[in-house]
Amino acid sequence: MAHYGFLGTGIMGGAMAANLLRAGHSLAVCNRTPDKLEPLLALGAIPCASPAEVVAASAITFSMVADPEAALEVALGAGGVIEATGPGHDYIEMSTIDDVTSRKIGAEVVATGARFLEAPVSGTKKPAEDGELIIMAAGDPGLFEDAEPAFDAMGKLAVHLGEVGTGARMKLVINSIMAGVMVAQSEGFALAEKCGLDLPSLLELLDAGVVSSPLLRAKGPQLMARQYPTSFPLKHMQKDLRLTLALADQVGQPLDNTATVNQTFIRARVAGLGDQDFSAVHEVVSKDERPCA
């Protein structure tokens, strides 16, 4: 039996699974697009035909898919995870989904006698490739301990936050802040450009001050070049904002700024930028090319 299984091998999942293999763990894999498995098979991964087959072949299976709908299909659909979970075949959901969906999947998994953990991550393509993700786990504490070797291969920090749902909520809060910072940064760059200011100088001054951050250093050059190589797809960030606003509605917390940020991301998605990096929101922020008077 493989140490681990992995479902969903896109931008994030593929890098995370590769790090498990490079750390010496045996790994069973499955993806809706089989071509995306080729790099992992070259590293020694074991191909499987369905999520259920991965779970049956693994002690602990991880999932990293696009959204709540995909997470439900992988876990509870035909040929899904739930058909093979049970004692000795546990499940860790690492996708960014809402707490309601996470609890639904967790309850179904636990009912089979398996253990469940949600463990969404903070970080994009480069941190995933470098094994530098931040992992926000919640659920079965024993499974958290047993998964530590895998978390060590995929991330630089893994924390256990409590019961299922707390990890999902924490991830949405973090991503809503990141999206807001991205739009604020984009607006500043757009204003500076239209006023004839030197953008490299702006980036240098920002990086030397209190707003310096890895996000600024990573995305500032993309805004200046108007090129947005995909590290975290814009459509997924907009999905996270939608889930954040739904969570805020549930608990009665107004999020005026986040609602406005979400509208900006919707405009960018509708404009055809959904598959580009979320920094491509700059294209709709800076579309008015009139210089300052």
Residue ranges covered by each domain of the chain: 2-163, 169-285
Distance of alpha carbon 180 from its chain centroid, rounded? 17
Specify the pTM: 0.92
Q: Do domains 2-163 and 169-285 have the same CATH topology?
A: no
Domain at 169-285: CATH architecture: Orthogonal Bundle (1.10)
Angle between helices 166-194 and 234-251 (to 10 degrees): 120
Tens of each residue's pLDDT in the chain, 293 residues? 569 999 999 999 999 999 999 999 999 999 888 888 999 999 999 999 999 999 999 999 999 999 999 999 999 999 999 999 999 999 999 999 999 999 999 999 999 999 999 999 999 999 999 999 999 999 999 999 999 999 999 999 999 999 999 999 999 999 999 999 999 999 999 999 999 999 999 999 999 999 999 999 999 999 999 999 999 999 999 999 999 999 999 999 999 999 999 999 999 999 999 999 999 999 999 985 444 54
Instruction: Pick the closest to residue 232 from 249, 215, 245, 246 (CA basis).
Output: 215
Helix, strand, coil percent values for the chain (each to nearest 5): 55, 15, 30
171 tagged catalytic? yes
Q: How far is CA 254 from CA 21, 96, 151, 177, 246, in A?
A: 44, 22, 34, 14, 11
Catalytic residue among 36, 126, 156, 171: 171
- 2-163 belongs to CATH 3.40.50.720: yes
Report yes or no: 25 and 3 within 8 Å, Cβ to Cβ.
yes
Distance of alpha carbon 25 from its chain centroid, rounded? 22
Instruction: Pick the closest to residue 60 from 132, 123, 114, 128 (CA basis).
Output: 114
Angle at the Cα of 228 (from 224 to 233), degrees rounded to 5? 140
In 10 A of CB 293, how many CB atoms? 4
